[in-house]
Structure 1
Amino acid sequence: MTAVLTLPGKRSPMTSRRKPGRLVIWVSWVIVGLVVIAVAFAELLAPADPNAQDLGALLLPVSAEHLLGTDDLGRDIFSRMLFGTRVSVIAAAQAVAIAVTVGLPLGVAAGWLGGWFDLVTVRVVDAVMSFPAIVLAIGITATLGPNITTAMTAVGVVLAPVIIRLARAQTMSIRSETYIEAARSFGAKGLRRMILPHVLPNIIQPVLVQVAVLMGFALIAEASLSFLALGVQPPTASWGAVLSRAYLFIDQAPLQVFVPGLAIAATVFAFNVLSDEIQRLLDPKRR
């Protein structure tokens, strides 16, 4: 969980990487659907209070009463995984939302204005991206204090350069298009008459594709920070927190390590597969 992660870059639409099969895509949709159900209906699906301790039922194996067993404090793992799904996914969405909120305006402004503003923005982005992403997030979180809001704000700041670079490149490409020159010839300028109607609609497709990729990265970042006790704080459950607790008792209850690990891996895999599907669905050349 503490391996150094690098920021995901923009993937070219012309990539030669083999496209996932339809079965893989459907499986990915099912995984995301199950995650959404867990986020929305955790209270209804959970058989027990995720924080309720039962010191007479420590590290129990899988059973009809405890579908995934219990942890070292007698808490129901299945319930904690359900509520942990909500915490992890919402935290990842928070980080991505911060990245887009910060990165999209700066990227568009840098690509549209050029000059000294573009130069300064590029230099700052290069400086941030020169650090390993998770290490930088750990440093920010440790400085500001360990909690899930601070942790995901730090992750959002770390992810923002990815959106900045993507939005800047797309804006610079659109700026030289014929319809932009035509709009200028009719006196159109500024945010309301140029950026909003002409630039943003034409860069939103690659941004949405990148958002799906960043969701997977943010999930891993949240799990990593919570595993290191820099994210959610006890007794709150998240996938990283459940994994961290289970790791201490891997000899007695190894299944408890695999469950959150597989949940993280499957969800990240699904988001990465669906990023390609989103690109295909939003492709203007697709019939």
Structure 2
Amino acid sequence: MSVITTHVKARTPRRRAGRLAVWTSYAILGAVLVVVLFAGLLAPYSPTEQALDRILLPMSTAHPLGTDDLGRDVLSRMLHGTRVSVLAASLAVAIAVVAGLPVGILAGWRGGLVDLFVMRLVDSVMSFPAIVLAIGITATMGPNITNAMIAVGIVLSPAIIRLARAQVMAIKSETYIEAAASFGAAGLRRMIVPHVVPNIIQPILVQVAVLMGFALIAEASLSFLQLGVQPPDASWGAVLSRSYVFLDQAPLQIFVPGIAIAATVFAFNIIGDEVQRLLDPKRK
């Protein structure tokens, strides 16, 4: 009895830390959502308004995060940049899911030559470093935020394809699939939509949360290299890029977008784990 009690007590701090991380992640994503919806109301200045007499000002009551090299308010640019970065990352993940989910389901369901062709194509794409491939696609299509997120979506789609294929291959021999087929649910439309998709959606949702974090990092990386958001528009990566150039004159400004990116990516990863826990069929 004492051994069991000791074990329970030892696990309690870990559980409390885990729940704290989850609620912190909810708070971070809630704050990000509020900023995305109300950035125009929350920002004290226009994100593109220049004031050459207020270049690289330190933090103050008038400019809580200071100003950049063109006198633009960094707080306003961060708030508007939150909307751009999050929506851009959402676009990239949506492209990955729309492009990857049907292909993965088809490859897993059909098997044979279809599966072989799809997986060799996926392996070819995944053999390149993700960011390098995204940079190459963006440079080919032209540097802007839409093309950058299309490129990121293409790079992320193999992860969805492989996951969907694996899940379909695992369930297509299940008894309920055979029972549905025996009752006449033949064909892709009558079998996949009502019977396959609902049973593979749990890991897909978890993967989407994880990919949101990667897409945010990819957007920041491409905008940092001036392949994503173009001046004078703002995003976290664009603010980070300008802060880096003037690191010696305004060293604190580089921490603002860096912390925002790191905290949001952390939140998406924790929420992904939480979604997996909540949707676990073995959970009581």
TM-score by length of 2: 0.93
Partner Cα separation in structure 1 for residue 188 and residue 80 of structure 2: 42
Identity over aligned residues, as a percent?
Answer: 74
Spell out, residue by residue over 1:39-87, the C-alpha distance to the aligned partner (whole angstroms, 9 max, x if none): 0000110000010000111111111110100001100000000000000
| 1:145 correspondence with 2:142 | yes
Tell me the secondary structure at the aligned position of residue 225 of structure 1.
Answer: helix
Give 1:285 shift.
2.2
Tell me which residue corresponds to 2:120.
Answer: 123
The number of residues matched between the two structures is: 270
Gaps of 5+ in 1: 1-17
Tell me which residue corresponds to 1:202.
Answer: 199
Tell me which residue corresponds to 2:24.
Answer: 27
Tell me the secondary structure at the aligned position of residue 21 of structure 1.
Answer: helix
Partner Cα separation in structure 1 for residue 104 and residue 260 of structure 2: 33
Tell me which residue corresponds to 2:261.
Answer: 264
Within the candidate set 216, 225, 231, 1:228 is matched to 225
TM-score by length of 1: 0.93
Normalized per residue, which structure has more helix? 2
Alignment of 1:21-60 (within 5 A): 21-60=18-57
Tell me which residue corresponds to 2:98.
Answer: 101
Aligned CA RMSD, in angstroms, stands at 1.0
Tell me which residue corresponds to 1:179.
Answer: 176
Give 1:188 shift.
1.3
Partner Cα separation in structure 2 for residue 271 and residue 134 of structure 1: 19
Give 1:284 shift.
2.0
Spell out, residue by residue over 1:148-167, the C-alpha distance to the aligned partner (whole angstroms, 9 max, x if none): 00000000000000000000
Tell me which residue corresponds to 1:250.
Answer: 247
Partner Cα separation in structure 2 for residue 193 and residue 156 of structure 1: 28
Partner Cα separation in structure 1 for residue 223 and residue 129 of structure 2: 18
Tell me which residue corresponds to 2:151.
Answer: 154
Tell me which residue corresponds to 1:279.
Answer: 276
Q: Which amino acid is 1:121 matched to?
A: V
Q: Greater Rg, structure 1 or structure 2?
A: 2
Q: Which amino acid is 1:91 matched to?
A: A
Partner Cα separation in structure 1 for residue 268 and residue 230 of structure 2: 26
Spell out, residue by residue over 1:225-279, the C-alpha distance to the aligned partner (whole angstroms, 9 max, x if none): 0000000000000000000011111011011101000100010011001100011
Spell out, residue by residue over 1:130-180, the C-alpha distance to the aligned partner (whole angstroms, 9 max, x if none): 100000000000111100000000000000000000000000001010111
Q: Which amino acid is 2:64 matched to?
A: L
Partner Cα separation in structure 2 for residue 267 and residue 252 of structure 1: 27
Tell me the secondary structure at the aligned position of residue 59 of structure 1.
Answer: coil
Give 1:191 shift.
2.7
